[in-house]
A and B are shown apart, each in its own frame.
Chain A
């Protein structure tokens, strides 16, 4: 009767030892939050997920309010490790282009007589760039401007230009904020297209 008890006691003893060791090992692992194991991730777990939530929510609102359309998603699809700043670079190109075009349009409107053909051509370029980055509202306002050009409606063009300038400024500010948020999560996370 004593032999079996000893045997099973020994088993229990070694079993417990093993379990304790396992617990220590797991505790050691979990002390390092998963997020720190990613490169370029200095922020603690809590802030990172808040940031992530902010980014997703901001992007959703940009889409819901019609500032951006599907083409913007297409741009994000094209961003990867080999081209980690692609979207920001393309957007920067857009704002450079479009600022110049706005100035040219403004100048052309002040010329007498107005050259509606040229105005239409400038708006067409603007519309094209806007469409390439998924700037939906901008694109639509350019279409309005072009329609006024077709009708040789100077007043219409002037009003439309003011709208274009406002849309332009708003979009610029919103995208700057968006990219700032993205920059905070680090390049590696940004390059992974997980913001859908």
Chain B
């Protein structure tokens, strides 16, 4: 592991088109990101450390990844697992749900965009993606890092008090994923403030 003086952020890019993978890789590298590209959602999940269909959490948390991933950018339209499916799986995973996800699509379909944002995508890019879009990535990475630190602190605190969040602290089964997607709705006013009691990110 590199000593963190100024380690570049690491982005995982997912696209079934070789041409688009080459393009997004170049865009990201030009913007000083470290890049890994994969050609499918299932390969992405493999890389991220999720195996198989079930989304039950690993025992340890995010540092089970061999290389930390700071952001995932994925095409929407892919054969097999779509970008949306991948997004859902990521958000269902306790170890991965804090990683910001950006969706790319060649089609400007508002209902599609909304659906992705509601499922927890942080950003939606219309293809072809441009260099100017790259500057939108870092804020999401930094924001998620802040959240991570905040929740780490909360988690340490909660060890002392036992029963406050029996709901959200429960096992992250599929039941809670809908709660999570609710809490992530960007447009919902209630959730603008970080929910004090949302512990489900750390198990």
Residues of A in contact with B (beta carbons under 8 Å apart): 71, 74-75, 77-78, 80, 83, 86, 89-90, 93-94, 97, 124-125, 127-129, 131-134
Query: 14 A-B Cβ contacts within 8 A?
Result: A74-B128, A74-B131, A75-B23, A78-B27, A86-B26, A90-B19, A93-B19, A97-B18, A124-B77, A127-B106, A129-B19, A131-B127, A132-B19, A132-B128
Residues of B in contact with A (beta carbons under 8 Å apart): 17-20, 22-23, 26-27, 30, 77, 106, 127-128, 130-131
A-B contact count, CB below 8 Å? 46
Q: B196 CB to closest chain A CB, in angstroms?
A: 44
Q: Contacting B19 at CB < 8 Å: which of A94, A124, A134?
A: A94
Q: A150 CB to closest chain B CB, in angstroms?
A: 14
User: Considering the chains assembled together, what is the distance between the CA atoms of A74 and B30 in angstroms?
Assistant: 12
User: Considering the chains assembled together, what is the distance between the CA atoms of A86 and B30 in angstroms?
Assistant: 12
Q: Contacting A128 at CB < 8 Å: which of B20, B22, B26, B30?
A: B20
Q: For residue A89, which residues in chain B have a CB less than 8 angstroms away from its CB?
A: 22
Q: Which residue of B lies closest to A134 (CB)?
A: B128
Q: A89 CB to closest chain B CB, in angstroms?
A: 7
Q: For residue A93, which residues in chain B have a CB less than 8 angstroms away from its CB?
A: 18-19, 22
Flag if A132 contacts B131 (CB, 8 Å).
Answer: no
Q: B106 CB to closest chain A CB, in angstroms?
A: 5
